Structure 1
Amino acid sequence: MNSGRAPRRRPGRRPRAILSATAVIAALALSACTSGGKSGGGGDTNFVTNAGGISTAALGDRRPVNEIAGETLEGDQLDVADLKGKVVVLNVWGSWCPPCRAEAPHFAKVAKETESKGVAFVGINTRDPNKGPALAFEKDYGVEYPSLYDPTGKLIVNGFPKGSLNPQSIPSTIVLDRQGKIAARSLMALNEEKLRKMIDPLIAEK
């Protein structure tokens, strides 16, 4: 006997794209815009963290990054893999982030002074809903190196293997050796001295 009720619809699954975007935003919001942070990438690691909060990986324990490529704030295409052979400094930042503003002049200065030594700086701008504020940030602080535009954080989440020295806060700085492997990481704003302490040992490696 038909009761006259319409059959109940089973709730549909949320699209994977929505779930992925939610996961990315949640990961970035976890430690967004902090002046410090705990080290560690999970798993059985051999990372060493010094008193200044900089974590390093010994040569035999380093892991390569995944693909980190896309459009820069200026609209050019950039692939970090093309920089292999250089020491690469990856800085995760946002124009809305006070610690990012504090460290920006130091990064701009060190980037210019180490370019001739085979060091390349690449920013990863995140959580800026449009490019305008980020471009103004670069102009205000004299940042001349390129930044990949990553408003949803996909490059940050997918570009670094789990269990590695991956970014876990904004700002984060990751330094790759000349083979494109993750050698050092900081989860806090850096001054010139601390930034050079991350870079100089890798410049000296042959």
Structure 2
Amino acid sequence: MRTRTLLPAVLTAALLTIAGCGSDDGSDSGSGAADTATSKPAASQSTGGEEAPADSPAVPESLKFTGTTVDGKPFDGATLAGRPTVLWFWAPWCPKCRAQAAETAKVAKEYEGRANVVGVAGLDANDAMRDFVDQTGTGDFPHVSDEDGEVWKRFEVTEQSRYVILDKDGETVYEGVLPGGEGLSGKVAGLTG
């Protein structure tokens, strides 16, 4: 039982030590490739956990997960199926994440109904995550509270201030840093046609 309570703290400490606060160079953190065709499991959350209609697209393995939003609502990744999805991994204390907030919110509004935008908050407590959403004006799209790092691990994200972009089939088409969110709109536009 003690291991269960220590594991999230150890994971958080390790991520903080490794990650710093993301990189400013816009690179893909060591892989050298900004766009990847690899298909990491996509752990995202939808626009609030609504049930998928019976005629909805098949749910790829990457979207078969559930969670809770920072405001306490259930979230089901299956509701993201059939649309491109932006997963924005952030931490409440990260200045680079704060700098990305306005552009990410703008993209969420611009592509509403054509693409999903989901924040995946981690590396802190839910109260701090809620405060970040309130302070940055990003409450118009869902934010998953990932205090124990399950979604981060699922997508192999090791630092905050990171975007993972999935196509309509749940395949990862981009994973990396976009300082200030620059270029995010173009990447989503390319997937929505």
Tell whether the structures are fold-level matches, with TM greater than 0.5.
yes
Task: For 1:88-167, list aligned pairs within 5 A.
Answer: 88-116=85-113, 118-131=114-127, 133-143=128-138, 144-157=140-153, 159-160=154-155, 166-167=156-157
Aligned equivalents of 1:96, 1:185: Cα separation in 2:
21
Q: Alpha-carbon deviations, 1:154-186, whole Å to 9, x = none?
A: 2211x22xxxxx423111110111011111112
Instruction: Kindly state the Cα deviation for residue 123 of structure 1 after the two structures are TM-superposed.
Output: 0.6
In the aligned structure 2, how far is the partner of 1:48 from the partner of 1:201?
A: 21
1:31-42 equivalences in 2 (<5 Å): 31-36=19-24, 39=28
Residue identity in the other structure for 1:201: G
Q: Is the 8 A contact 1:28 1:153 kept in 2?
A: no
Q: Deviations over 1:98-152 (max 9, x none)?
A: 0011110111111101114x11111111122232x32222222221101111123
Larger Rg: 1
1:84 has 2:81 as partner: yes
Alignment of 1:165-184 (within 5 A): 166-184=156-174
3-state secondary structure, aligned to 2:111: helix
- Identity level (%): 29
Q: CA RMSD in A?
A: 2.5
- Matched positions, count: 170
- On the 8 A contact 1:169/1:187 being kept in 2, the answer is no
Q: What TM-score comes out, normalization by structure 1 length? A: 0.71
Corresponding position: 1:201 with 2:190: yes
How big is the shift at 1:23? 5.2
Cα separation, partners in 2 of 1:88 and 1:57, compared to 1, 3 Å: same
State yes or no: 1:186 paired with 2:176. Answer: yes
**Equivalents in 2 of 1:18, 1:124: separation in Å?**
21
Instruction: Return closer, same or farther for 1:48/1:200 CA change in 2, 3 Å cut-off.
Output: farther
Q: What CA distance in whole angstroms lies between the structure 1 residues aligned with 2:82 and 2:76?
A: 13
Letter matched to residue 39 of structure 2: R
Unmatched 5+ residue regions in structure 2? 43-61
Shift of 1:16: 4.7
Q: Distance in 1 between matches of 2:157 and 2:24?
A: 12
**Could you tell me the TM-score, scaled by structure 2's length?**
0.75
